[in-house]
Amino acid sequence: MNLTWRTAAVLAAVMLAAGARAERFDPAAGKALGPAGGKEDFVFAVMGDNRPWVTAEDPITQNDYFKTNIGLVNASGADFAVNSGDLIRGYAEPDLLLKEWDAYDLACRAFKVPYVNVVGNHDVSTPAGEKIWLERYGPLYFSFDHKGCRFIVLNSEVIGGMERIAGEQLAWLKAELAGAKKARRIFVFLHKPLWAYRPDQGVTLNAWMREVHPLLAAARVDTVFAGHWHQYVMHPRRDGVGYVVTGGGGAEPGEVAGFFHVLRVSVKGRKASYRVVTPDGDYPPEIVTEAAARALRESLKIDPLAAPSPDGSATLTLRFANAFARPLAAEVAVDPAGTSWKTGRQTAEVAPGGEAAIAVPTATGARLFPLPQVTYRIMLDKLQIAAASLYPAVPPVVARESRLIDDFQDGNDVNACGPNGISAAGGRWVKNADHSGASRLAMTFTAGALHATGSRGKSQPPDFTYANFTTWLNRERPVDLTGYAGISFRARSARADAWELALEATVGGKALARTGRGHRVAFTPGKRWKEYRFTWREFGQPDWVTGDDRVSPLTVAAVAGLSEKKVLLERYA
């Protein structure tokens, strides 16, 4: 099979127009999807994370990548398809959620085979969203049988469940596995790949491997399929149980292995195997292993910008390691749009086991700042294995002058720059019945004002405890920012805690593309201040200088929080 994206999308559109479709599997209507017994060979398809992109202006309409994948499913010979969650964009009011679900159902009319919905975090981000799912699609976890095999669908999105399979659902799973002893094969589906969460990630403390995996191994489960991460990755088989992340259904591609795809799973006798299907061809499962993806992700970096030569010439270097079994082809380009830098481009092929240091020659032009974007794309065969646009880091700088803006301790609405609109809680830990899941400390630079706001926590029950504070610079009277190169956030904590920090820029009220990734930063107990520093290049274009989102993952385990917080303007040497 070698469909182009356009051909597959047209095929899906034709099927929709012709009304050739199959119905969604209703778990409340019966246990079997097709013949429950039998030993016939068959095929089923798996995909996940088809929701509209967060950056899309239209949060309702399903995108063409999802429709293309429906065409791939229809051409695969599958008896049915399973979608592993994040079916809509969600995180909205009930009226908008209903419109999003109507659009999803409309797009799914293009399926020619029955399809099974698995719940994702975007689908039931609030109690109101969960209520809509229950009324519209039935139970959040269930099972069904097909041709002698058992299919178990779990709910990783239990509100307040702290990303664990526990309580009634865990007891139900034990019963389902006990009742499937005569099944040819057992397959499990859920949205979040809980088996891959590190012990310090979230609050699961790797509960899956302690509480769920032993049950699956004892029952000889064949494979567990999940999404959530927008990529394809084959994780190591453990005690006979296969683990696969398939999140390429149409949402924004992940930074590594984020290509769009579906899985075609073949069951023959008592054995099962699958292929990774894209419009440009199909690939074996090991095309992207967890080890290779991790090695690429951890090695990908752009060297900090060194001082340009007297003539303005400079070099920007992308580095990465190839732990894949096939060569990787890379293209790196300097995008000087909006800067005085010169265009640069370089390509390279990296053999398996090799390391790349792709140097792109360029020049600064009249001014060093603002810095240009560096765009890279790494291909494995016809698969886009990695792609992003990043700004090069500047060497660490040392503050020679600081000006305290707010320490968030007094709880009033005044800081060093005047009224600051601080939250009623004064930066202390509060309970907010209207909390809907914000989990970032966002700083927004505007033409005329600098706004720093933060909230702590993930989508949780209304009584979940979290921190919230906000402060404004230059809200009512000018503050001269000349000579100030950035802003820093300093904290010291009575107990261990973590925050996710992000920077966004607006100019004249119009939002710009985010110029730095969100970074997860941890504050460990102690008397020493820990600092995270942001710089802006010109007119509110911020950039990260320090921070690494792979080092300190976000956690909601410790809600005692930060004991002291300070925001300062800083002049740099």
User: Which pair of structure tokens corresponds to residue 245?
Assistant: 């992340």
Nearest by Cα to 474 from 421, 427, 511, 425: 421
Residue 237: count of CB within 10 angstroms of its CB: 12
Q: Which long-range contacts (CB under 8 A, 24 or more apart) does 92-96 make?
A: 92/59, 93/128, 94/128, 94/129, 94/132, 96/59, 96/60
List all residues 6 or more positions away from 448 whose beta carbon is below 8 Å from its beta carbon: 474
Rounded to an integer, what is the distance from CA 383 to the centroid of its chain? 19
Query: How large is the average pLDDT for residues 421-425?
Result: 39
Q: Tens digits of per-residue pLDDT, 528-565? A: 666 655 554 322 333 333 333 222 222 222 223 344 55
Element (H, E) at 406: strand 399-406
Nearest by Cα to 119 from 71, 154, 78: 154
DSSP letter, residue 386: E
Q: State which amino acid sits at residue 45.
A: A
Looking at every residue in the chain, the average pLDDT score rounds to: 74
Q: Tens digits of per-residue pLDDT, 105-114? A: 999 999 999 9
- DSSP for 191-225 reads SS-GGG--TTSTT-TTHIIIIIHHHHHHTT--EEE
Question: What distances in angstroms separate CA 520 from CA 28, 392, 435, one per listed residue?
Answer: 41, 19, 21
Flag whether pLDDT at 253 surpasses 70. Answer: yes
Q: Tell me the pLDDT band of 138, cut-offs 50, 70 and 90.
A: very high
Most confident of the ranges 108-122, 364-378, 522-536: 108-122
| Cα radius of gyration (the chain) | 25
DSSP letter, residue 525: B
Q: Tell me the pLDDT band of 373, cut-offs 50, 70 and 90.
A: confident
Question: What share of residues in the chain are helix, strand, coil (percent, to 5)?
Answer: 15, 35, 50
Nearest by Cα to 105 from 146, 50, 153: 50
Flag whether pLDDT at 292 surpasses 80. Answer: yes
Residue pair 369/392 in contact (Cβ under 8 Å)? The answer is no
Q: Tens digits of per-residue pLDDT, 316-364? A: 899 999 999 999 999 999 988 877 889 999 999 999 999 999 999 998 8
Residue 94: count of CB within 10 angstroms of its CB: 12
User: What is the model's pLDDT at position 309?
Assistant: 79
Q: Tell me the pLDDT band of 408, cut-offs 50, 70 and 90.
A: low
State whether residue 100 is helix, strand or coil: helix
End-to-end CA distance of the chain: 60
Q: How far apart are CA 83 and CA 49, in angstroms?
A: 8
CA angle, 369 then 448 then 547, to 5°: 50
Flag whether pLDDT at 452 surpasses 80. Answer: no
User: Which pair of structure tokens corresponds to residue 412?
Assistant: 């009033």
φ, ψ dihedrals at 86, nearest 5°? 60, 65
User: Which pair of structure tokens corresponds to residue 433?
Assistant: 């019945």
Flag whether pLDDT at 66 surpasses 90. Answer: yes
Q: How far apart are CA 62 and CA 60, in angstroms?
A: 6
Nearest by Cα to 114 from 184, 32, 10: 32
Q: Tell me the pLDDT band of 55, cut-offs 50, 70 and 90.
A: confident
User: What is the model's pLDDT at position 509?
Assistant: 38
Rounded to the nearest 10 degrees, how much is the dihedral formed by the CA atoms of 7, 11, 12, 18?
160
Residue pair 296/321 in contact (Cβ under 8 Å)? The answer is yes
Task: Output the 3-class SS for 250-270.
Answer: CCCCCCECCCCCEEEEEEECC
Residue 389 pairs in a beta bridge with 375
State whether residue 489 is helix, strand or coil: strand
φ, ψ dihedrals at 391, nearest 5°? -100, 140
State whether residue 124 is helix, strand or coil: coil
Query: How large is the average pLDDT for residues 153-159?
Result: 91
Question: What distances in angstroms separate CA 430 from CA 266, 412, 435, 507, 555, one per listed residue?
Answer: 52, 15, 11, 32, 18
Q: How far apart are CA 479 and CA 472, in angstroms?
A: 11
Burial class (CB in 10 A: 0-12, 13-18, 19+), 202: buried
Name the percent of the chain lying above pLDDT 90: 48
Residue pair 78/70 in contact (Cβ under 8 Å)? The answer is no
Rounded to the nearest 10 degrees, how much is the dihedral formed by the CA atoms of 60, 63, 67, 68?
-170
Query: How large is the average pLDDT for residues 37-66?
Result: 92
Query: How large is the average pLDDT for residues 28-50?
Result: 83
Name the percent of the chain lying above pLDDT 70: 60
User: What is the model's pLDDT at position 13?
Assistant: 36
User: Which pair of structure tokens corresponds to residue 331?
Assistant: 């293209």
Strands 271-278 and 281-283: antiparallel
Residue whose entry in the numeric block shows the structure tokens 């009634």: 168
User: What is the model's pLDDT at position 526?
Assistant: 65
Least confident of 248-262, 303-317, 546-560: 546-560
Residue 112: count of CB within 10 angstroms of its CB: 18
Residue pair 261/243 in contact (Cβ under 8 Å)? The answer is no
